[in-house]
Amino acid sequence: MPSTSIPSASPTKSAPSKPDNRDRALALLRRMGARASFVRLIVVTALIFLTFSVLSPGVFLSGANFQYIFLAAPELAILALAISLAMLTGGIDLSVVAISNLSAIMAAHVMIGTGSVGLGVLSALATAGACGLVNAFFIAGVGVPPILATLGTSQLFAGLALVATGGTVLKGLPTSFTAIALATFAGIPVIFWIMLVLALAVGVLVAATTLGFRMRLVGANPRAADYTGIRRARVLAATYLISSGLAGVAGLVISARATGANSQYGASYVLLAIVVAVLAGVNPDGGYITVAGVVIAVLALQMLSTGLLAVQNSAHIVNIAQGLLLVLMVLLNTWGAPLGDRLRVLRADRAAR
């Protein structure tokens, strides 16, 4: 009789088995956002990649195309992260683009006047922080609904930006600042690395810090948050401050790429950033965010855009396709889970017969 080690009668005394590759993959998915919406996003992104790789391999798979994607993605991804953080708490921040423009304009004034990039960056972050305090005052202090508060402050910040520029584009930024947009590290634009670092920081914030836990709880169940003694006003104030800070960094990235600052840059980014958050599966009602999903959703939109332009040189087609993609993902996220549950019940019934 072959002798092997006898399993212990008590499961508490048995040595824990090593996780296999499947367990590791599931653990990684859980960290990135284990919801079915995240998996659907991965599938849709892969389909976009495969489709245009077949339709236009010479253009879509070229290094220049992916270099453009990595250059264009960071500003939208950072703005989407800013909006997603507000959505995590059950709110929204419609003022991120206005904050980014105003921050970039103030930085441009300082850099043009002093020639110091460091002072310009500090002035941008200070401007973004001041804007965040204004949002925090209305939302956390006065109790104005976030959508109304940030809609109003968006107009306020945009008006200030228009006055600060006189309706013109501020040029003459130091070359050491604008060169950041063209610099690369390991063949990838530096601004894309900056975006990844910020995404990692946001991921750590929401997943591994007390503030992140409170932000999720405030978004998922505000009443429960109150019962646990969490000061919602402080959490909301911190959220909109961080959101504004991210918008300020996005303004610097946009300004470096455009070699100037203007009150009208990125006018369409508010809606696109919301589209990205929805595609990523961020819960508009609060309580759930997937940082990896936000980054992947931005890359999916950029691949869709460059792929369509490679096949059909029309920006209107890109807008239509982005809208259809959003509708498709909303339908999948809305009906996908009930349909999956129904299929599982049918399979269980068949197995029981």
Confidence at residue 3, expressed as pLDDT on a 0 to 100 scale: 40
Q: Are 318 and 305 in contact (CB under 8 A)?
A: yes
pLDDT reported for residue 338: 62
Q: What is the mean pLDDT, run by run of 10 residues, along the chain of 353 residues?
A: 39 49 53 64 90 90 91 94 94 94 95 94 96 96 94 95 90 92 91 96 93 92 88 94 96 94 84 85 84 92 89 76 79 67 69 69
What is the Cα Rg of the chain in Å? Answer: 23
Question: Angle at the Cα of 114 (from 110 to 115), degrees rounded to 5?
Answer: 100
The Cα–Cα gap between 207 and 35 comes to: 15
- Enumerate residues 6+ apart whose C-beta is below 8 A from 231: none
The contacts of residue 342 (CB under 8 Å, 6+ apart) are: none
Q: Which two tokens stand for residue 176?
A: 């050491």
Beta strands in 117-268 (DSSP E): 184-185, 188-189
Whole-Å CA distances, 307 to 166, 211, 298, 317, 322: 38, 40, 14, 11, 12
Strand bridging mode 184-185 / 188-189: antiparallel
Q: Given this model, what pLDDT does residue 322 score? A: 78
Is the distance from CB of 132 to CB of 244 less than 8 angstroms?
yes
Q: Which amino acid is at 308?
A: L
140 Cβ neighbours under 8 A, 6+ residues apart: 232, 233, 234, 236, 237, 240
**pLDDT number for residue 107:** 96
Longest Cα separation, the chain = 91
Per-residue CA distances from 342 to 41, 222, 337, 338, 346 (Å)? 21, 31, 9, 6, 6
Separation CA 175–CA 155 (nearest Å): 31
The H or E element that residue 181 is part of is none
From the list 288, 304, 210, the residue with the least C-alpha distance to 37 is 288
Cα(69)–Cα(305) distance, integer angstroms:
9
Q: Treating both helix axes as pointing N-terminal to C-terminal, what angle do 269-280 and 36-55 enclose, rounded to 10 degrees? A: 110
> Cβ(99)–Cβ(240) under 8 Å?
no
Q: Do the beta carbons of residue 65 and residue 120 sit within 8 Å?
A: no
Q: Tell me which H or E stretch contains 213.
A: helix 210-220
Predicted confidence at residue 29, as pLDDT, reads 46
